[in-house]
Structure formats: C-alpha cells, structure tokens
Structure 1
Amino acid sequence: MKKLNGKVAIITGGAGGIGMGMATAFVKEGATVVIVDLNAEVGNETVKTLQEYQPESMFIQANLAEHDKLGNIVTQVVERYGKLDILVNNAHASRMNSIADTTQADFDLSFNTGFYPTFYLMQAALPYLKETKGNIINFASGAGINGDVNQASYAVAKEAIRGITRVAANEFGPFGINVNIIAPIAKSPGMLQWAEENPEYYQGMLSKIPLRRLGEIEDDIGRVAVFLASEDSAYITGQTIMVDGGSIKLR
C-alpha cells in the first residue's frame, strides 16, 4: 500500500524546486496534493504533471505575504476535499545581505514570506488537523543553524520557524498532530543558479558535505517529507531533520 494513500496535503511553494520535488513524491505515494504558489504559469504546468498520478490534485495561486487571506487557502482545500491531513510550509523568499547592510525591508520580505505564513497557516489548519491527527512539516536551514554570513534576515526568520515549530509540537502533540522540520541542501534551481554565480564558494560548500553531493529534490528531500507525513514517523515530533548529506550534525 502507498504510504500516503487517501491523504490530502497542502505544499506552499509547490510549483518548483524543493516544493515540486515533495509534491511529486507525495502524489506517487497516493496523496492528493494542493500546491500553493505565486507563479500562476509555473503552478498550472506543475499541477498537470501531478495530476498524471493523482487527478484530484490542484493549484492555488496565492501571495503568501497577504496574511489576512491565508486562512482562505485552508478553507478552500477543506471545502473541496472534506479534510486536511498534511501541511508543508516550504515557501520562503529573502535577500542576501551582511548584518551591516541588512534593512528593515530585508527582514520584512523574509518574515512576510517565510515565518508569518508558516505561523498563520498552522493556526488556520489546526482545527482540521485535529480531526485527522495530521502532520505539519516546516522548513529551516543550515544558514540559520550555522549563522552563515550574508544571510542575516533569512537566518533569523528560519530560526524563528524552528522556535515556533517546537512550541507547536508541544501544544499540538496532545491532539495527535506531529510537527517537524526539514533543513535541506538540495539541487534546486535557486541553488544551481547561486552555484553558477559563486563557483568558489559553492565548491567550498560541496567539499564540506560528507556525501559530496547536493540532495535531489524528489528522491532525497521528497522521500524524507513522505516519511514525516506518514505513519512511519508517528512517534517523531518537534525535531529538526537535517537532510544535508551530513553537513550539520545536531546534538
């Protein structure tokens, strides 16, 4: 039996990159996936691919920075499918800047597209996840854990997501809801573009990955997300799972 058979999942930032990798892994395991993304053109193309595996999957075009409308995403999904089993908060936009050059606008972008959507979507999804004893997967980053240079606004927002995830794990656990974090290094389009623009820094990063490669968005990141969304991880909550080839070993 497929691990996510009959499950309904929301994945933000699902039109491309890691989000698309997870969405593909989910539908192959039987889930109906709702991808949420700002890019309507890419979102409509991606959902066609997903529908080859699960015809009921759909795309919702949304600006996650419009926080007062986030509840509508959850409502729309529940009205169509009758339930919600899995929420994956993957989307996040940011600018690279040193602390000296970071502006309020940099923090606003990072928190408005990353932390706040994660928080408000968890809040909106809670009543429905109580009914299904569902799963939440949030996204952090080694940039926050390591304190990478030139990642001030991104690192802070990602660590805020880790903090609220631990709180949610404690508060939601009595309802049978698991809340975990993936912190990946992946071969996403954004990463590949960054590698091309910063070849020396990229090679240095690659040399520090024990497995000496970037993670595949579906086969590596997507499969771990399937695990965290399935019954296989029923006794895991509040954890940061490093899917980074061994780069960071949390203690």
Structure 2
Amino acid sequence: MGRLQDKVAIITGGAGGIGQGMATAFVKEGAKVVIVDLNEEAGQEAIKHLQQHQQESTFIQANLAEHDKLESIVEQVVDKYGKLDILVNNAHASKNKPFLETTQKDLDLSFDTGFYPTFYLMQAAIPHLQETKGKIINFASGAGIEGHANQAAYAAAKEAIRAITRVTANEFGKDGINVNLIAPIANSPGVQQWAKEQPEYYQDVLENIPLRRFGELEEDIGRAAVFLASDDSNYITGQTINVDGGSIKF
C-alpha cells in the first residue's frame, strides 16, 4: 500500500516539468492523478507514462486562464472518481522584466495563469475536500519571498498565492483540510535550457545553493509533495516548505 493509495489528485501543469515529476511520484504511491494542462500532446504523453503505474489516471486539456471553466474541472473529476482528496496548483506562466518595464499585460498573464486559477480551483475544490479531509498544495517562489530582480509580475502573483494559502489554512483547518506551499528550485527543462543559454549565470546560482545542485523533479520536489499530500503532514498547515537546497534561510 502506498502513502497515497486510492487518493484522487488534481495536478495543474502536470504535463511537464515539476508537475510531471509530482504526478509520477504520486502514482507510484498509489494515487489516481488527473493532469490538467494546456498542452494536449504533452498531456497525452504524460498520461501514458503515469498509466504504467496507475491505469485510472487521466488527462484534462484546459486553459486555466479561462476562469469561468475552472469549476467544471473539479466537477469532472468528482463525477468520474466520486471524490477529490488532493489539489495541487502548480501551473503558472509569466515574463521576467525589469520593474519599470513591467506592463499591465505582464501582470495579467501572471495573475491569470497563476493566482486566479489557484483561487478559483480552491473555491471549487474545498467543498469536496471538506468531505475527504483533503490536502491543498500551492506553489510559492523565492522570487516573491526574497524579491528577485526582474520578476515583479511573477513575484507579486506568488505572494498573493501565499496570502490566500494562509487564509484558507486558517478558515478550513477546523474541517481537517491542510493547505501548504512548496517553494522549489528544480532542474526543470526551463532551467536546463537556461544553463545552455547563460552558463555563467547558471553556475553562479548553483554555487549559491548550499547543497550545490538543483532539485530533481520527481525525487526531490515530487517526494516533498507526496509528504504534504499524505497523512504524514496532518499537523502541518499554512506553511511554506522551501524545497530549494537551503537557498532561503530564516
């Protein structure tokens, strides 16, 4: 029996990168995972991989920026599986620009794909999570916690996500719902491309990570998410878990 045996989980942005790493870690622990992603081709490929471990995992193609359709994602999952145990809000798109060059369009992109989907999917999911005493995992970032240069739109949306995570942790703790955040540094495809394009900057960032490596998608970020989704984290809520090799220190 896995730590997530027969749990039903939604993971947004699950067709690649950190999302796929978490999805893989979840199915290996027995979860039925529903990947939600904009990329149809990548989503179908990801599901083929997941179904090697959990045949009942499925893919929903959706544009998370279409906020009026987000509730239907949760409804589809509950209709199919009869319940929802875990919601992971991972998807987020943003553009990095200096603060004075950041436009309304940049802010809209970051909030429309990150903050608002997190907000509305939580609203849709919480009534079902009250029934299962479920878990919500949202995503923060060192960009917001430390205020990284050139990431105003991304950092603002991530800190807004942190705020509603703490609010919902307080409001729904009485119902047995745990709401936490992961702030990762991961060896994602984007980071790998960045390493090729800006090797000196990449090396500088790497040398400032105490563990001297970027986190692995499944083994590091995925396993941390499994912990937060499992009964092992039942007495943890409203917290930001920095899965970043020691980069952020308090």
Q: For 1:235 and 1:199, how far apart are their aligned partners in 2?
A: 41
Amino acid in structure 2 at the alignment position of 1:226: V
Q: For 2:30 and 2:210, how far apart are their aligned partners in 1?
A: 33
Q: For 1:195 and 1:171, how far apart are their aligned partners in 2?
A: 42
Aligned to 1:68: 68
Q: For 1:192 and 1:143, how far apart are their aligned partners in 2?
A: 18
- Cα drift, residue 181 of structure 1: 0.1
Aligned to 1:167: 167
Write out per-residue CA displacement over residues 155-180 of structure 1, whole angstroms, 9 at most, x where no aligned residue: 11001111110001001101100000
Q: For 2:112 and 2:191, how far apart are their aligned partners in 1?
A: 22
SS of equivalent residue, structure 1 residue 88: strand
- Provide the identity percentage: 75
Aligned to 1:133: 133
Amino acid in structure 2 at the alignment position of 1:127: P
Aligned positions of 1:31-50 closer than 5 A: 31-50=31-50
Q: For 2:161 and 2:114, how far apart are their aligned partners in 1?
A: 8
Aligned positions of 1:1-251 closer than 5 A: 1-250=1-250
Write out per-residue CA displacement over residues 162-206 of structure 1, whole angstroms, 9 at most, x where no aligned residue: 111000100110110000000000000011112222222211111
Stretches of structure 2 lacking an aligned partner (at least 5 in a row) = none
Q: For 1:171 and 1:64, how far apart are their aligned partners in 2?
A: 25
Higher alpha-carbon deviation: 55-64 or 201-210: 201-210
Q: For 2:29 and 2:217, how far apart are their aligned partners in 1?
A: 16
SS of equivalent residue, structure 1 residue 100: helix
Q: For 1:63 and 1:51, how far apart are their aligned partners in 2?
A: 23
Q: For 1:109 and 1:140, how far apart are their aligned partners in 2?
A: 17
Amino acid in structure 1 at the alignment position of 2:20: M
Q: CA RMSD in A?
A: 0.6
Write out per-residue CA displacement over residues 128-148 of structure 1, whole angstroms, 9 at most, x where no aligned residue: 000000000000101111111
Amino acid in structure 1 at the alignment position of 2:86: I
TM-score (structure 1 length as normaliser): 0.99
